[in-house]
């Protein structure tokens, strides 16, 4: 395989959604299933799902999709803690990790493939862009993991670190293969479902 791990962050409380966000129905399956299904075919050697305390239903769903599940007991302290847990769980021979969000079901394998291609071309950090703006997912080569460990804090994950070290970042346009829309509310979920049903958008994201 590519020697690249996929780390899917699924430990948030989803308080704006009203709870149970990642298990909410989306396109005939749960939201977390839609995200994991979209990653099938991505050029990664393993998929790791980071859950919060008590995420047993998420665990069973994720393992059914072939993912390895790790628990972040400190998830309430922010996304950076889940990134750390995910990176530490990666296979010892992983050369890089792609970090994705569980509530972005329309990202998919196409965007991950482009990030891996940029990494194979020498990029230490590759970040997907849409409309010229950096979004998710993002790939981090193992050489920058110690930097993330030192500098990440709170709920901004690696974003603040990348802003401080722009020289590390290669931007990778993904407008034509993915959609970075995320689900914070029930309205977001319905809007993305409508987008999923659009024939033109379905062709782009490969659903």
What's residue 19's pLDDT? 72
The CATH architecture assigned to 4-199 reads Alpha-Beta Complex (3.90)
What's residue 7's pLDDT? 98
pLDDT exceeds 50 at position 118:
yes
User: In this predicted structure, which of 33-37, 50-54, 112-116 has the lowest mean pLDDT?
Assistant: 50-54
Closest CA to 80 of 93, 96, 99, 62: 99
| Tens of pLDDT, residues 140-168 | 999 999 999 999 998 887 989 999 999 99
pTM assigned to the model: 0.92
Higher pLDDT residue, 206 or 39? 39
pLDDT exceeds 90 at position 92:
yes
Alpha-carbon dihedral angle through residues 27, 30, 32, 34, given to the nearest 10 degrees: -30
What's residue 55's pLDDT? 81
Closest CA to 171 of 121, 142, 123, 128: 128
What's residue 98's pLDDT? 98
Range 116-140 average pLDDT = 97
């Amino acid at each position: 395989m590519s020697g690249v791990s996929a780390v899917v962050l699924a430990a948030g409380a989803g308080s704006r959604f009203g709870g149970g966000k990642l298990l909410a129905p989306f396109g005939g399956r749960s939201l977390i299933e839609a995200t994991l299904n979209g990653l099938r075919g991505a050029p990664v050697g393993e998929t790791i799902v980071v859950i919060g305390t008590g995420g047993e239903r998420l665990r069973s769903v994720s393992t059914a999709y072939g993912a390895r599940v790790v628990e972040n007991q400190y998830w309430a302290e922010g996304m950076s803690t889940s990134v750390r847990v995910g990176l530490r769980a990666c296979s010892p021979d992983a050369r890089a990790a792609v970090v994705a969000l569980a509530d972005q079901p329309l990202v998919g394998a196409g965007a991950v493939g482009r990030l891996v291609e940029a990494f194979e071309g020498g990029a230490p950090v590759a970040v997907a862009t849409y409309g010229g703006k950096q979004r998710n997912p993002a790939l981090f080569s193992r050489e920058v993991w110690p930097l993330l460990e030192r500098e990440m804090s709170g709920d901004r994950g690696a974003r603040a670190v990348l802003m401080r070290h722009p020289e590390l970042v290669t931007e990778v346009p993904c407008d034509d293969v993915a959609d970075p829309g995320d689900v914070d509310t029930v309205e977001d979920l319905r809007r993305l479902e409508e987008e999923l049903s659009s024939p033109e958008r379905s062709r782009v994201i490969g659903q």
